[in-house]
Amino acid sequence: MTQSSFSQTQKNTTLEALAKDAGVALIIQIGGLFLTYLLQVVLARWMGRGEYGIYEYVIAWSLFLAIPAGLGLPRAVLRSISQYRVVQDWGHLRGIIRGSWLLTLLSSLLVSLIAAGIVLLLNRDRNFLYAVPLLTGLGLISLQALQQLQLETSRAMDDITLAYLPYQIMWPVLVICGGFVFLETHHSLKSSSMIGVATLMLLVIVLFQLFFIGQKVKEKVESAAPRYAYRQWLSLSLILLVQRAFFIILDQTDIIMVGSFIGPEATGVYNAAVKTALWVTCILEMLNMVVAPTLATLYAQKNMEDLQKVVSKVSLWIFWPSVVIALILLSFTQPILRIFGPGFIGAAWSLKVLVLGRLVDCFCGSVAPLMVMTGNQNKSLPVFASCALLNIVGNAIAIPMFGIVGAAISTTCTLVLWNVWLSLLVVKHVRVNPSIFYSLFSAKSADG
């Protein structure tokens, strides 16, 4: 077999493997998005805008605080395990799985204690509306951090099902069932009760996933004494922590600031628009979760030709369905929001603005995974820092002036800047072009 034919076979094998994983991921991602959306709808109807808004406010804070609690280890684990598997360093592979879990548990408990102290101080000086729900949801911080770590560990072990099925499919189902049982037995459903149900169900998910990760390690990782390189892992993870924190600021600041500036009812209404707009990026998120380990492997092998081929193919897979979903949401905005209840139609313009921002996200492709998985995460820090600061300032100005539409405008403008800037950095430092426009033109050239 010639070198060129071997290379072509390797390319086809890589793309076939990605397509197979993408099929599994698509089922989980679409099913998970549907179930998460269904969860939002039933909670909004069961609880009303106010209590639903408080619930989502607490969930947003738990997701936000899970980032410092995780120390940036999830992304570090994903990248490091992929590299350890290439060089067959089984000792460090076992060590990072065990060590990262213990570090995450300890740091998340510390973050929870600090958060509890801050909430109690705020409640002592004045009657803090969110005090009881926030204290009830403290357990979510550790569980969200551990779940995110286990998700990335499963991804690195090439088990997409174990990575995403528990959190995206099982957890929403359990929360809906738990909420229904509580509603039937108590005839009302308050935010604190629902937060307690969500916490209990997430604990079940984390323990379930942890058990099967242990089984996976026994099957796929050769026996070796665990080796720990905490300094090396933390030096990588802390950079990724800062990056991830900035990303979560971009992702959750609007919800938190709407709740703080306007109130829980506005939070509930705006959150319906946010969750609906996420349908546009469902294909992007699905393919990112499949392709990330492949990006790390190809880059580690210095196989730039195959890396560009994979990135271009993934960009095409993202583009067409995302455009169709965006057009549907823009055309049927009010009927879709009416699913949540008649009081949620006020988020129509917010949804339109958010959809446009998410569409730009899809046009630019897998820019964030490309920077992280190729070791260029430090170069992207100015992007995340600038956009996070711009998002906070923009929301602080726009929300008092324009309400929830202002939050949508600020978030969308920041998202556009973030994607375009990262795209330029990927081209400069990774030497591949992730945008849909490059993929379309290169595909036409190949056909010609």
CA 89 to chain centre: 29
Q: What is the DSSP secondary-structure string of 254-277?
A: HHHHHHHHT-HHHHHHHHHHHHHH
User: Token match 């990303």: residue?
Assistant: 247
pLDDT score at 346:
85
Give the pLDDT of residue 10.
Answer: 44
- Give residues with Cβ within 8 angstroms of 325, minimum separation 6: 279, 280, 282, 283
Please state the domain extents for the chain: 8-441
Element (H, E) at 390: helix 377-402
Q: How far is CA 309 from the centre of its chain?
A: 25
Contact call for residues 179 and 46 (beta carbons, < 8 A) = yes
The answer to whether the predicted template modeling score (pTM) of the entire model surpasses 0.75 is no
Per-residue pLDDT of the chain (448 residues; tens, 9 = 90+): 444 443 444 444 455 555 566 667 678 878 888 898 899 889 988 988 888 888 988 998 898 899 889 888 887 888 788 777 777 777 888 888 888 899 999 999 999 999 999 888 888 877 777 888 889 889 999 999 999 999 988 888 878 788 889 998 999 999 999 999 998 888 888 888 999 999 999 999 999 999 998 888 887 777 777 777 778 778 778 777 777 777 777 777 888 898 888 888 888 889 889 989 988 988 888 778 777 777 877 887 888 888 888 888 888 888 889 999 999 999 999 999 888 887 888 889 999 999 999 999 888 888 888 887 787 877 888 888 898 889 999 999 999 999 999 999 999 999 999 999 999 999 888 888 888 877 777 655 555 5
